[in-house]
Structure 1
Amino acid sequence: MTPRFTLLALAALAIAGCSAYPSGPSARAALEPTRGNAVAGTVRFAQMGDVVQVSGQISGLKPGAEHGFHIHEKGDCSSGDGLSTGGHFNPAGQAHGRHGEGMHHTGDLPSLKADAKGVARFSFDSRSIRLGSGSTDVVGRGLIVHRDPDDYATQPTGNAGPRLACAVIQRD
């Protein structure tokens, strides 16, 4: 291999490696249990062009169960039951539905699936939300984990039940 080829190959690898890092703003939400619950975890948000990568780990969930997961309109967890976050974040006035499929609230996220130990680990991409600007910016909004699975049909909540954990999404 010639020194010039080696240098070009190393430069290409360096550029490719950079694509795994956020190209825009990032944010984090530290979920804390609502009164009488033990659900907690951390969720990370990273803007990558037109997509926001959402990933995290949440523990204290009912083992083997699905749990509704939504961004809510207000970044306020002061009520102790999560109700101070208001309804789902819905700047476009859409019907509640399944994230990434047809009409849905901006705050409708995929349900969480807990493993046998009550831990949900997840990573997904969203084209519905943004970080730092625009009408779908989720920074400063509430993030809620619900007790029950989202049925993706009941309006306007998905019938996901009580709020088990609450966080405010904060820019890094």
Structure 2
Amino acid sequence: MIRFACTAATLTFALAACGSPESPQEPADAPATTPATGAPAAAGAAMRAVAVLRTAAGEAAGTATATSTDGQTMLTLNVEGLAPGQHGVHVHMTGRCDPPAFESAGGHWNPSGAQHGLENPQGQHAGDMPNLTVGADGQGTLEYRLEGAFDGLLDADGSAFVVHASADDQRTDPSGDSGDRIACGVFERG
């Protein structure tokens, strides 16, 4: 009986010593968690990032919403108060939108180092999109599947969405000759 009690006590202490530390660290291959609760994210759960667009004067100009589900990233653009016509629109590589020129947003989001343009045989940037058509009422919408991975939108320096004054020619590297940046918004998890 004493031998059994000693063996049981030794086993109990050995198991306790093998327990997890006070601040457990997740392995690198641990499943993603939801930001608000730390609960595991459901397989195939949608992730979203939203850029609230503003003009250089600080006026509301719409939203760009990126939604990633099962490895596909869709971008939905809704604009208001812009000049009618065709506008180049792109994801830019830095999450800053300092007016008036929004140059702080950097170049187009291009993690692969490709050339610019949906019609460029050596393109396209991950942030390249078709032109946005804005109606006489100043409103426009566009949906497009992005080529880049969603995670790149929210990396350490973030990313921004930019609306340009003119149409993108879909070929000229690096910017599509789409003119001044007239609206900008920084992507934030949402």
Q: Answer whether TM exceeds 0.5 for this pair.
A: yes
Match of 1:42 in 2: 63
Match of 1:116 in 2: 136
Q: Does 1:58 align with 2:82?
A: no
1:141 to 154, 159, 168: 159
Three-state SS of the structure 2 residue aligned to 1:138 is helix
Q: Which moved more, 1:90-99 or 1:153-162?
A: 90-99
Residue pair 1:39, 1:164 contacting (<8 A) in 2 also: no
Q: Which letter does structure 2 place at the counterpart of 1:46?
A: T
Residue pair 1:47, 1:131 contacting (<8 A) in 2 also: yes
> Which of structure 1's runs of 4+ aligned residues deviate more than 4 A?
none
Q: Does 1:171 align with 2:189?
A: yes
2:114 to 78, 91, 94: 94
Percent of paired sites with the same residue = 31
Unpaired stretches in structure 1, ≥5 consecutive residues: 1-21
User: What whole-Å deviation, never above 9, does each CA across 1:54-73 have from its counterpart, x for those lacking one?
Assistant: 1131012222x110001111
Which structure is higher in RCO with an 8 Å CA cutoff and minimum separation 6?
Answer: 1
Three-state SS of the structure 1 residue aligned to 2:150 is coil
Instruction: Give TM-score scaled by structure 1 length.
Output: 0.76
Three-state SS of the structure 1 residue aligned to 2:153 is coil
Deviation at 1:129, TM superposition (A): 2.3
Three-state SS of the structure 2 residue aligned to 1:110 is coil
Compared with structure 1, are the counterparts of its residues 151 and 86 closer, same or farther at alpha carbon in structure 2 (3 Å cutoff)?
Answer: same
Q: Does 1:27 align with 2:49?
A: yes
Unpaired stretches in structure 2, ≥5 consecutive residues: 1-43
